[in-house]
Amino acid sequence: MHLDIRSPDWWKSAVVYQVYPRSFADSDGDGVGDIPGITSRLDHLAQLGVDVLWLSPVYASPMDDNGYDISDYQDIDPLFGSLADLDALVAGLHERGIRLVMDLVVNHTSDEHPWFVESRDPQSPRRDWYWWRPARDGHQPGTAGAEPTNWESAFSGSAWEYDERSGEYYLHLFSRKQPDLNWENPVVRDAVHTMMRWWVDRGVDGFRMDVINLISKPARLVDGVPPPGRRLTPAFHPVANGPRLHEFLREMNERVGLSERHLLTVGEMPGSSVALARDVTDPARRELDMVFTFEHVQLDEEPGLGKWALRPLALPVLKANLDLWQRGLEETGWNSLYWDNHDQPRAVSRFGDDSPAHRVASAKTLATVLHLHKGTPYVYQGEELGMTNADFTDIGPYRDIESLGFHGDATSLGTAPDTVLAALAAKSRDNARTPMQWDDSEHAGFTAGEPWLPVNPNKDVINAAAAVADPDSVFHHYRRLIRLRRDEPVVVHGRFELLLPEHDQLWAFTRTHGDDVLLVLANCSSLPAYVDPVDVPDRGGAKILISTHVEGDPDRLRPWESKVYRLTGA
C-alpha cells in the first residue's frame, strides 16, 4: 500500500482497529499498557490486515477518566511513554501501510490543564475559555440547588462544580476533573486548530473526535425538562447538538485542512439522529467523514432510563435500527460500523452467545453481519479474538469512573446489590478494558507485572497465539472479512437492502453494485433456523464467499451459522 497516494475518500474501503493503550500491551512491567507495547505488537495488526489504527488518548493526563482528561495536548503521558515513542509508533505503522488516527478530546480538558488552572482566576484572560456561571438567581452560592442549571454530569451528580475562590460554578458534562471548553470563544477554537495542525505535521492521518456534538452549547444555559423518569445526562439535555455545531466543524475542517489533506475524521455523537449525521457527513459541507451513532447500543436499555436499566433486545429491533441508518445515509454521507469500543461491553457477550458451544460461531457471525453492511467497520482490540465480558462478581475489581459513580448512586438510593452488580456485569466499560489476551501465560502476555485490571481467566482458551495458529478461529474469520472488503468493490459500495425484517432469528440482506449482488444469510440465534427458499433470492449456482461452517444444508442454518453468497456478476 502507498500512503502517499490517497484518494479523498480512501477511508470508505478501510477497516479501523481501535487500541485502548492502557489495556493492549505493557512493555515495562508496571501493569499498564504503553506505546512501546503497541509498537511491539504491530505485526498482529498487519496480519489481521487493518488499514488504520485509532489510538485512544495517550496525552499527558491525571487519568481521572483514563486519559480522556487531558492536561497537555502536545505531550505524551509518562505512563504511556514519550513523544519519541509516538514517533516510532507512527513510523512502524506507516512501514506496514497502516495509518494512525488520534483521539481528539476537545469538548473538555483536565482541570489540571494550564488553561483551566489560569481560568480559575476571575481576572485571567483565560476566564472565558470555560463555562463559568454564577449561582441560580436568589440562591446562596455553594448551597444545595444553587447550581446554574439542573443538568447532570454523565458520571453522576450535578454537571456544575462550585469554586469557592470566585463564588462561581464551572460546567463539566463529564467528571469534575473534565471542565468543558468554551467554543464560543474564537481564541479557544484557534488554540485547538493550532494543536491539531501540530499533530498532522507530526504524521498523524486523522482524528476520532470525542463527544464532538457537545462542543456547541446554547447561548443561554437553561434548565432541561426531563420526561418523567428520565435523567438529564449530556446526550439528552439541552446542551447537545448546539446551534453552532456545523459552523465549528466546518471551520475546524478548513483551518486544519482536514478534507484538503484527506485525513480520516470520525465524530463521536451521542444523541445524534440520522438526519444530523447525514448533514455532518455530507461531503459537500466539508465537516466530518463519518460519525459514531449510539442508537444501536442503546436498544438494550429501558428507553430514557439510561444504560444501566437493562431490557432484552429482539433481533428485529436491532436490524431495523441498522437498516434505518443504512437507508438514511445511502445517498449522502457515510456510516461507521461498530459493535464494540472501550465504552461498550464485549459484542460476543452482548449480541452473541459467549457460552463455549456458541462463542466462536456467534463472534464470527456478528462480524460477518457488521462488515457486510455499508460503511467503515471498526474492530476493537480483542474483538477479533472473540474476547468476552469480564464477569466480575463483586465491586472490588471495577476501576471505571462511570461504573463506580453508578454503583455509589444506586446503592445509596437503596437499589438491591444484586441488581447493581448485574447491571455492571452487563454494561460496565471495564468489560472492554480487561487486558488484551495475547497468550495463555500468567497475565496473558499483557504484562510481566501486576495488571491494572484483572485478566479474564478465559485467556487459557481465548488468546491471540491460539487464534493465529487455528485457521478456523475468529481471528482468521476477521482477516478474511477484511480481505473481502479490499478485494470486492460491492462490499464497499453496494446498495444495502434488508430482507425478512420481522424474522426473529435470521439477519438477511443483499448488497448490489452494478450487476454484482451479494446475499448475506445469518442465523443470529443459538437455535437452528429454517430458511424458506421462497423468502430469499434463488441461490442456485451461487458461490459462497465466506461462511462460518463448512457444507451443511443451505436451508437449515445451524446456531449462529452465516454465509455470504455471490448471486451474479463477476
> Which three-class secondary structure state does DSSP give residue 46?
helix
Closer to ligand GLC at the Cβ: 188 or 564? Answer: 188
Task: Report residue 207 CA to chain centroid gap.
Answer: 13
Residue in 343, 310, 533 with CA at minimum distance from that of residue 423: 310
The reply on whether position 517 binds ligand GLC by CB under 6 A is no
Q: Quote the cell numbers at residue 117.
A: 488552572
Closer to ligand GLC at the Cβ: 93 or 211? Answer: 211
Q: Which of 16, 25, 48, 211 binds ligand GLC (CB under 6 A)?
A: 211
Whole-angstrom Cα distance, residue 505 to residue 366? Answer: 13
Q: How far is the CB of 210 from ligand GLC (least distance, A)?
A: 5
Q: Alpha-carbon Rg of the chain, whole angstroms?
A: 24
Binding residues with ligand GLC: total (CB under 6 A): 9
Closer to ligand GLC at the Cβ: 66 or 505? Answer: 66
Q: Which residues pair with 160 in a beta bridge?
A: 171
Q: How far is the CB of 449 from ligand GLC (least distance, A)?
A: 24
The reply on whether position 289 binds ligand GLC by CB under 6 A is no
Question: What type of residue sits at position 552?
Answer: G
Closer to ligand GLC at the Cβ: 39 or 381? Answer: 381
Determine whether 477 is exposed, middle or buried from the number of CB atoms within 10 Å of its CB (0-12, 13-18, 19+): buried
Question: What type of residue sits at position 23?
Answer: S
Closer to ligand GLC at the Cβ: 380 or 509? Answer: 380
> Which member of 26, 152, 210, 289 is catalytic?
210
Task: Report residue 263 CA to chain centroid gap.
Answer: 19
Residue 533 neighbours by CB distance under 10 Å: 12
What residues numbered 415-474 form the site for ligand GLC, per CB under 6 A?
none
Please enumerate in sequence order all residues whose Cβ is within 8 A of that of 527, keeping only pairs 6 or more positions apart, or say none: 505, 559
Q: Respond yes or no: is residue 504 known to be catalytic.
A: no
Q: Quote the cell numbers at residue 503.
A: 424474522
Q: Is the torsion defined by CA of 120, 121, 125, 128 positive or negative?
A: positive
Q: How far is the CB of 243 from ligand GLC (least distance, A)?
A: 22
Site string (25-64) toward ligand GLC, x via CB under 6 A? ----------------------------------------
Q: Which residues pair with 301 in a beta bridge?
A: 310
Q: Which of 15, 32, 105, 240 binds ligand GLC (CB under 6 A)?
A: 105
Q: How far is the CB of 329 from ligand GLC (least distance, A)?
A: 22
Q: Respond yes or no: is residue 95 known to be catalytic.
A: no
What residues numbered 241-270 form the site for ligand GLC, per CB under 6 A?
268
The reply on whether position 343 binds ligand GLC by CB under 6 A is yes
Q: How far is the CB of 173 from ligand GLC (least distance, A)?
A: 8
Task: Report residue 26 CA to chain centroid gap.
Answer: 22
> Which member of 26, 111, 152, 268 is catalytic?
268
Closer to ligand GLC at the Cβ: 146 or 211? Answer: 211
Q: Which of 68, 151, 334, 338 binds ligand GLC (CB under 6 A)?
A: 68
DSSP state of 308: T
Q: Which of 65, 85, 161, 488 binds ligand GLC (CB under 6 A)?
A: 65
Q: How far is the CB of 473 from ligand GLC (least distance, A)?
A: 29
Residue in 124, 209, 202 with CA at minimum distance from that of residue 163: 124
Closer to ligand GLC at the Cβ: 195 or 320? Answer: 195
Provide the b/e sequence for 376-395 (b: ≥16 CB within 10 Å): bbbbbbbbbbbbbbbebeee
Whole-angstrom Cα distance, residue 139 to residue 145? Answer: 8
Q: Quote the cell numbers at residue 43.
A: 505485526
The reply on whether position 174 binds ligand GLC by CB under 6 A is yes
Q: How far is the CB of 12 from ligand GLC (least distance, A)?
A: 23
Q: Which of 210, 287, 383, 430 binds ligand GLC (CB under 6 A)?
A: 210
Closer to ligand GLC at the Cβ: 158 or 510? Answer: 158
Nearest residue to ligand GLC, by Cβ distance, number only:
68
CA 205, 207, 208, 210: dihedral to nearest 10 degrees? 160
Catalytic residues: 210, 268
Q: Which residues bind ligand GLC (CB under 6 A)?
A: 65, 68, 105, 174, 210-211, 268, 342-343
